[in-house]
Chain A
Amino acid sequence: MVVSKDEIMEIRASDHVVLVRQAVRKWSTELGFGLVDQTKIITAASELARNTLDYGGGGTVRLEAVESGGRRGLRLIFEDQGPGIVDLEKALTDGYTTGKGMGMGLSGSKRLVNEFDIVSRVGEGTRVTITRWK
């Protein structure tokens, strides 16, 4: 897999979530994503950015324009140094929330992308990597 372009954005305030959505919209348009694919990855990014902010205590997202086997895609890596997730399986269950949310963010964004990977260590932080191929 080749990364042809990348950028790191801060996620420290709710305004930043809006900026992340706008950046993902711009990148996915540039990659030639259709309207549905665009909407899906933007929505997933919105969910993960808000989790990074609300539960991870803030962090970063790395945007990568990737290419593999002639396909182009957008990969987003959300990272925080927050408390981590104790029970990943639970967290990925529809409707599970430890806050006041619907508990659909993690499981829902997994359904909105082609690749989904989550690594979380209690007391160290969480990293969620998603990729959507064109």
Chain B
Amino acid sequence: MSDNGKGLSEVLSKHEADLQADWIKEQTAGSARRTGAIKEVELRDQCKEFLGLVIEALQGGGDLDVRGPRWNPVRDLLANLSRSRGLQGFTPSETASFVFSLKKPLFARIRRDLSKDGEAMAEATLAATVLLDGLGLYTTEVHQKAREEIIARQQQEMLELSTPVVTLWEGILALPMIGTLDSARTQVVMESLLQKIVDTASSIAIIDITGVPTVDTLTAQHLLKTVTAARLMGAECIISGIRPQIAQTIVHLGVDLGDVTTKASLADALAVALERTGRAVRRVRAGS
């Protein structure tokens, strides 16, 4: 199978310019509707570069293993293309159609050039199929991977976004926790709280768990660790937002929050914090 790509290579080289034109037409018509989003010029450059690189890769032997080193430049081009199309919201099949839409014009040339030699035609067609299928699948893979990277990054961003430490008053911090206290998030939360305690020289930190749906032994353990670490930094913690059903459940579960002050609401916790720091809130006139 060593000269598998030879016939194909010849057809490609001979008709490079025509193929490019037909291929672009193929992509801007019907099937690949989304190409409207890509500038014609850009598409022409991509097609031209792709054909050039494929011809180069096929030269000096018909190595059709698109995973091999010979195909590195072609794969790099496709990887860039997949990524940028992925970011523009193309589906994997829309992205892969860049490669697959070359089949029709290419098969037409192969048929025309090699019709007199059945065997050569079959071989070149097979080579073209193997090659384009391999490269098409590769774009899908990259596309998929790029999407996964985006999702992973968004998750990471959410981890950070969802744990804001706010200063309620001079020396009083609040950490409104929302969602599941799994290990990865708790780590982030704990670090940002401790950092803020140091930065602001705060003496009280209120951890509000109104937005935490379930408090089980693992959650409790995470909370207690945070409280202990905060203490080592010189701050006392108050846990607020323990809803009645959670309070009951914790008691039955047998979890002991130790000597940590707990309050039903963030407002109650703030009142305690103000008092402990020698302040009081006073009504200055009758309100509604």
Contact = CB atoms under 8 A, between A and B. Distances in A.
> A and B, one complex?
yes
Interface of A: 14, 18, 21, 25, 35-36, 38-40, 42-43, 46-47, 50, 94, 101-102, 104-105, 107-109, 111-112
Given A18-B182, A43-B249, A43-B253, 16 more contacts: A14-B182, A36-B249, A39-B245, A39-B246, A40-B248, A40-B249, A40-B252, A42-B213, A43-B215, A43-B216, A102-B217, A104-B217, A104-B254, A108-B252, A109-B253, A112-B249
B214 A112 contact: no
B214 A39 contact: yes
Contacts, number: 63
Nearest to A14: B182
B248 A36 contact: yes
16 contacts: A14-B182, A36-B244, A39-B214, A40-B248, A40-B249, A40-B252, A43-B216, A47-B216, A47-B253, A102-B220, A102-B221, A102-B255, A104-B253, A104-B255, A108-B252, A108-B254
Contacts of A50: 216, 218
Given A43-B216, A94-B254, A108-B252, A35 B245 contact: yes
Contacts of A94: 254
Given A21-B214, A101-B218, A101-B221, A112 B253 contact: yes
Contacts of A36: 244-245, 248-249
Q: Which of A42, A46, A105 has the most CB of B within 10 A?
A: A46
B84 interface: no
User: Which residue, of A21, A40, A104, has the highest number of chain B Cβ atoms within 10 A?
Assistant: A104
B180 interface: yes
B220 to A, nearest CB: 7
Contact of A108 (B180, B245, B255): B255
Interface residues of B, number: 20
B130 to A, nearest CB: 37
Contact of A111 (B217, B221, B244, B253): B253
Given A36-B245, A43-B249, A108 B182 contact: no
A66 B183 CA distance: 34
Interface in B146-200: 180, 182-183
B253 A108 contact: yes
Interface in B201-216: 213-216
B217 A47 contact: yes
Contacts of A35: 245
Given A14-B182, A18-B180, A107-B254, A39 B218 contact: no
B252 A111 contact: yes
Contacts of A101: 217-218, 221
A50 B220 CA distance: 14
Interface in B252-284: 252-255
Which of the listed residues A43, A105, A107 has the most CB atoms from chain B within 10 Å of its own CB? A43
Nearest to B248: A36
A105 B214 CA distance: 14
Contacts of A38: 245
A105 B253 CA distance: 7
Contacts of B217: 47, 101-102, 104-105, 108
A111 B182 CA distance: 24
Max chain A C-beta neighbours (<10 A), residue from B216, B244, B246, B254: B216
A14 B214 CA distance: 15
